[in-house]
Structure 1
Amino acid sequence: MATLAQPSSEAFVRHDPAQVETVGEGIRREMLGYGPELMIVKVLFDKGAVGEVHAHRHSQSSYVESGRFLVEIDGEKQELGAGDCFYVAPHKDHGAVCLEAGVLIDTFSPLREDFLGEGS
């Protein structure tokens, strides 16, 4: 697992392949930028990868950069593709199945402390 950079006063984030971490079978995650109230995360999915249904206290809005996903939110399912978005209110069950390899850009408010690893 990659060691993630800690928050700093730096305003710019450059892509670093060493910072991409595997978080599940066929799923990789890269932190793009974050502060106490907002986090942006790039999530790369292989075809068939499953983001299991889960819930958390954070508001989440996600943009489908590429690929196709079957997204479930609070029991409702829709197929989404490049350019589509979805919003998940806090504590709502949600998950996604990747139908065609792709990328989600997830935003969270406040930041996901659990994504920062130990010592955060």
Structure 2
Amino acid sequence: MNKQSEHFLFGNETEIEDLGGGLKRQMLGYNHELMAVKVWFDKGAEGYVHKHRHSQVTYVEEGEFHFNVGGVVKILKPGDSCLIPPNVEHGAVSPTGGILIDTFSPAREDFVE
């Protein structure tokens, strides 16, 4: 990936992408080594179980999430976070609706193509 975000991104000027299924995504900054993304979940929305080659840390900004990481399910609330190692299946459901901040290393090339 040869792309990189601007050095400064402003929330009210940065595109929010509707992913469907009650999910929206906004890029917070990235280069080939690192990426941060804000993800909105509508009430009851699900980030389906999947896996990828990237290390991921997710921080719960708002709402409640039932997170499945490697078959272990935990309830995460604001201020909580989880580490998802490369190639580990994971997903989340938000019964309340909420906001996550996802970070990836290396960056998710598929998010900017």
Question: Which band: TM-score by shorter chain?
Answer: over 0.9
Higher mean C-alpha displacement, 52-61 vs 22-31: 22-31
Residue 71, structure 1, aligned to residue 67, structure 2 = yes
Q: Distance in 2 between matches of 1:54 and 1:26?
A: 17
- State, as a whole percentage, how many aligned pairs show the same letter: 50
1:27-85 per-position Cα deviation (integer Å, ceiling 9, x unaligned) = 00000000110000000000100000000000000000000000000000001100000
What's the CA shift for 1:24? Answer: 2.7
What does residue 116 of structure 1 align with? 112
Q: Distance in 1 between matches of 2:39 and 2:14?
A: 15
What does residue 15 of structure 2 align with? 19
What does residue 97 of structure 1 align with? 93
Find runs of 4+ consecutive structure 1 residues off by over 3 angstroms: none
Equivalent in 84, 88, 92 of residue 80 of structure 2:
84
| Aligned residue-pair number | 111
Residue 7, structure 1, aligned to residue 4, structure 2 = yes
Length-normalised TM-score, structure 2: 0.93
CA RMSD of aligned residues (A): 1.3
Q: Distance in 2 between matches of 1:64 and 1:77?
A: 15
- 1:36 is aligned with what amino acid? H
Length-normalised TM-score, structure 1: 0.88
